[in-house]
Amino acid sequence: MAGKTLYDKLWDAHLVKQRNDGSALLYIDRHILHEVTSPQAFEGLRLAGRKPWRVEANIATPDHNVPTTTVERQAGVAGIADPVSKIQVQTLDDNCDEFGIQEFKINDVRQGIVHVVGPETGACLPGMTIVCGDSHTATNGALGALAHGIGTSEVEHVLATQCLVTKKMKNMLVKVDGKLPVGVTPKDVVLAIIGKIGTAGGTGHAIEFAGEVFRDMSMEGRMTVCNMAIEAGARAGMVAVDEKTIEYVKGRTFAPTGELWDAAVTQWRELHSDSDAQFDTVVEMRGEDIQPQVSWGTSPEMVVPVNGSVPDPESESDPTRRESIKSALAYMDLKAGQAITDIPVDVVFIGSCTNSRIEDIREAAKVVKGRTRAESVKRAMVVPGSGAVKAQAEAEGLHKVFLDAGIEWREPGCSMCLAMNADKLEPGERCASTSNRNFEGRQGYGGRTHLVSPAMAAAAAVTGRFVDVRELV
Amino acid sequence: MKSFTKVTGIAAPMDRANVDTDLIIPKQFLKSIKRSGFGPNLFDGLRYLDEGQPDQDNSKRPLNPDFPLNSPRYQGAQILLARKNFGCGSSREHAPWALDDYGFRCVIAPSFADIFYNNCFKNGLLPVVLTEDQVDQLFREMYKAEGYQLTVDLEQQSVTTPGGDTFHFEVDDFRKHCLLQGLDDIGLTLQDANAIEGYEAQRRKSAPWLFV
Ligand code: SF4
């Protein structure tokens, strides 16, 4: 019999019941809630007179709608200017209070973007099944966990039953061996992978990222990669547990201690694919081939190396693809053949669950240090992923580097990643963004998003256009 | 949940690949804490010429005359014809809620994003996967014939055209059963409460740190 993949192991350990129609009941260890996808689920529980099955398995924090300016944050929920956002954040508070769910409220230092808070607090651990009503939940897969996004009906279902009705996905291995060139970051790696396999390349699969590049990568880097599994079409992305994983988890608030820690670590060390495990799909790439990436279109697969140029729709033979390139170029106001380094940017956003951890902030600060925001750049902001990241960055003096350069330093939240709060692009504005989606209007109606790494975004902030960050460091 | 057995209705086009959930229902409408009322903002960015806001009177907004759903011939449509990877992007269930609230009962496409596909079944909306060629044929026939109607039969797992072509589609048994009956997932799962408790008891022993 062939060995098991990491995903097989996680699945088997959580299987409550296999139904004979192919669906299964999968036990959920950790459920994370935020304000946008939970109100209707709580309402459903109330209407049916149900209670959470295991209330301690849930934690919550508001992130999508919270304002990120210090002024607007001071008065907490009451101070949120947008009345609709205020109701949503207040509703999360009320629901958590009513059902007894632990919540990191708006000005709690542990508040932040769900996918940053989970690993950072140790609420998410290796070997867990983790779900959240948000597609970037796969971030937690970096811990060697099975983590993915669910819809609101499923949020209600998990609250009420601690289980998910689901079907086993296929196994996909993305193997990147070799060494990354200097200046190439985890974000570039995942963008290059999406560029290669496409936004539907992983549909129906759980992706395991393996190979030397991921072994060499920091835990936060692995989170950046797993975070964008969904942009490659896969609900879940994961990396095997190694010593880095265990080091990372050790000592975190909700991590086990003493004997429990030792017992946990023994089990966690088994969380890797067996050497003879079979994958349904295998993709291989070489680290040396990956360059800093910049997306040019309105889908994350529309990405090229920074030294490349905008593609020509006429050289695309598939008519559907040709049309989508054409409409992307029209929306993005770019010309076929234009060099990426000739594209000027108006706005720079460093943040989001993809790139708002301390290492991301350090990377960006390293590029900005001793430089100032280019005059042509109208706005640039750094939005830390959580209160803890913010505090750490400030302890290291990184916020000063940004402020001195004319770059804003904000309070934690999703912010301009999806522009549900006041942080948004004006129509036509072009943004170098460390977020994960460049869909039309994602960062504001008519706004144009280019996805890049924190270092590349910082380089754009100080030069006013896309440059190969390696020329600056 | 609303059940789905058989629907005969007008088909309307969403003729582009990779339609993401932001396009189906833009984020500003996600601030609602309700489950209904998203229909007027379905495809908001394409449907209107201005930027929509929640709690706005949509009847006063300028319509985009080039957007098919604004054309009289597609009024009352219940079936949406779409292209590949429909529903990609964010996991928001507001996307199927908006389609449902607008009046769609079924979306036909060559492929769907996983989470969206899953969310449809939880909301009485049937996502149907046909081959690329079959979808092409439906698009062609629909553009040619005003009032073009399709019949989607979940029991038979078939889509029938006015010309009498019948295409078979796959759907897994559990989802089919739930959708035909309009069954509530939670109630079904709770019938297995003993199995869940049994799993927990065993897991408390084998991985006690998960239960502190
Ligand atoms: S940062 Fe962006 S992608 Fe991440 S959870 Fe928030 S809105 Fe979603």
pLDDT one-digit tens code per residue, A237-287: 999 999 999 999 999 999 999 999 999 999 999 999 999 999 999 999 999
- Could you give the strand order of the β-sheet that contains A430-433, starting from the edge strand earlier in sequence? A408-409, A379-382, A347-350, A430-433, A448-451
Q: What is the CATH number of domain B6-181?
A: 3.20.19.10
Nearest-atom number in ligand 1 for the CA of A34 is: 5
Amino acid identity at A159: L
Q: Tell me, yes or no, if A102 comes closer than 8 A to chain B by beta carbon.
A: no
CA atoms within 13 A on the CB side of B95: 27
**pLDDT: is A228 or B173 the higher one?**
A228
User: Does residue A1 register a pLDDT over 80?
Assistant: no
Mean pLDDT of A184-207: 97
Above pLDDT 90, what percent of chain A? 94
Mean pLDDT for all residues in chain B: 94
Examine the pLDDT at B55 and tell me if it is beyond 90. no
pLDDT given at position A3: 96
pLDDT digit string (tens) for B129-176?
A: 999 999 999 999 999 999 999 999 999 999 999 999 999 999 998 899
The residue with greater pLDDT, A359 or B185, is A359
* Residue A353 Cβ < 6 Å to ligand 1: yes
Could you tell me the distance, in angstroms and rounded to a whole number, from the CA of residue B30 to the centre of ligand 1?
13
- Whether residue A288 contacts residue A182, with contact meaning beta carbons closer than 8 Å, is answered with no
Q: Mutual orientation of helices A219-227 and A358-368 as an angle, nearest 10°?
A: 100
Q: Please indicate if any CB of chain A lies within 8 Å of the CB of B2.
A: no
Mean pLDDT of the region B102-117: 96
**CA A64–ligand 1 middle distance (angstroms):** 7
Enter the DSSP assignment of B62. P
In degrees and rounded to multiples of 5, residue A431 shows phi and psi of -125, 135
Is A132 in contact with A30 (CB distance < 8 Å)? no
Helices (H), A273-348: 319-332
pLDDT classification of A125: cutoffs 50, 70, 90: very high
Mean local confidence (pLDDT), A422-441: 95
Q: How confident is the model at residue A421 (pLDDT cuts 50, 70, 90)?
A: confident
Return the pLDDT at B58: 94
Residue B187 has pLDDT above 90, yes or no: no
What are the φ and ψ backbone dihedral angles of B7, each rounded to 5 degrees?
-130, 130
Nearest protein Cα to ligand 1, atom 1: A352
Evaluate whether A422 touches A82 at the Cβ level (below 8 Å). yes
In the reported structure, the alpha carbon of residue A352 is separated from the centroid of ligand 1 by a whole-number distance in angstroms of 6
pLDDT at residue B183, as a whole number: 86
For residues A192-208, average pLDDT: 96
How much is the pLDDT for A223? 98
Domains of chain B, by residue range, sit at 6-181, 184-212
Residue B163 has what pLDDT? 96
- Residue A134 in contact with ligand 1 by CB distance below 6 A: yes
* pLDDT, position A425: 96
Q: Quick check: A21 pLDDT over 80?
A: no
Nearest CA to ligand 1 atom 4: A353
Q: Please report, in angstroms and rounded to a whole number, the separation of the first and last CA atoms in chain B.
A: 36
By C-alpha distance, the chain B residue nearest A95 is: B33
Instruction: Mark yes or no for CB contact B33/A43 under 8 Å.
Output: yes
What distance in Å separates the CA atoms of residue A306 and residue A294, rounded to the nearest whole number? Answer: 6
Mean pLDDT computed over A123-133: 98
Q: A364 with A406: CB under 8 angstroms?
A: no
C-alpha to C-alpha distances, B65 to A409, A458, B148, nearest whole angstrom: 43, 41, 20
Cross-strand pairs, B11: B79
Where residue A399 falls among pLDDT bands split at 50, 70, 90?
very high
- C-alpha–C-alpha distance, residues A73 and A181, integer Å: 41
Query: How large is the ipTM?
Result: 0.93
- Please, which pLDDT band fits residue A22 given cuts at 50, 70 and 90? confident
Q: What is the pLDDT of residues A44-69, one digit of tens each?
A: 999 888 999 999 999 999 999 999 99
Rama region for B76: left / alpha / beta (φ>0; ψ in -120 to 50; rest): left
Query: How far away is chain A from the Cα of B184, in angstroms, using its nearest Cα?
Result: 10
Half-sphere exposure of B70 (CA within 13 A, CB side): 16
B90 contacts in chain A (CB < 8 Å): 134-135, 418, 437
> Closest by alpha carbon to B96, among B120, B70, B73, B79?
B120
Task: Output the pLDDT for position B91.
Answer: 80
pLDDT of residue B129: 98
Nearest residue of chain B to residue A301 (CA atoms): B18
Residues on chain B touching A324 (C-beta within 8 angstroms)? 16-18
User: pLDDT at position A269, please?
Assistant: 98
Mean pLDDT of A293-315: 97
Ligand 1 binding pocket includes A34 (Cβ within 6 Å): no
Q: How far apart are CA A316 and CA A304, in angstroms?
A: 15
What's the pLDDT at A104? 98
pTM attached to this predicted model: 0.90
- Cβ within 8 Å of A, B 114-133: 114-115, 118-119, 122-123
Q: Is A34 left (phi over 0), alpha (psi -120 to 50) or beta?
A: beta
Cα(A33) to ligand 1 centroid in Å equals 13
Shortest CA gap A445–chain B (Å): 7
Q: Is the pLDDT of residue A435 over 80?
A: yes
More confident residue, B163 or A21: B163
pLDDT higher than 90, residue B34: no
Asked if B100 is an interface residue toward chain A (Cβ–Cβ < 8 A), one would say: no
Give me A429's structure tokens.
Answer: 């504005």
Average pLDDT over residues A91-118: 97
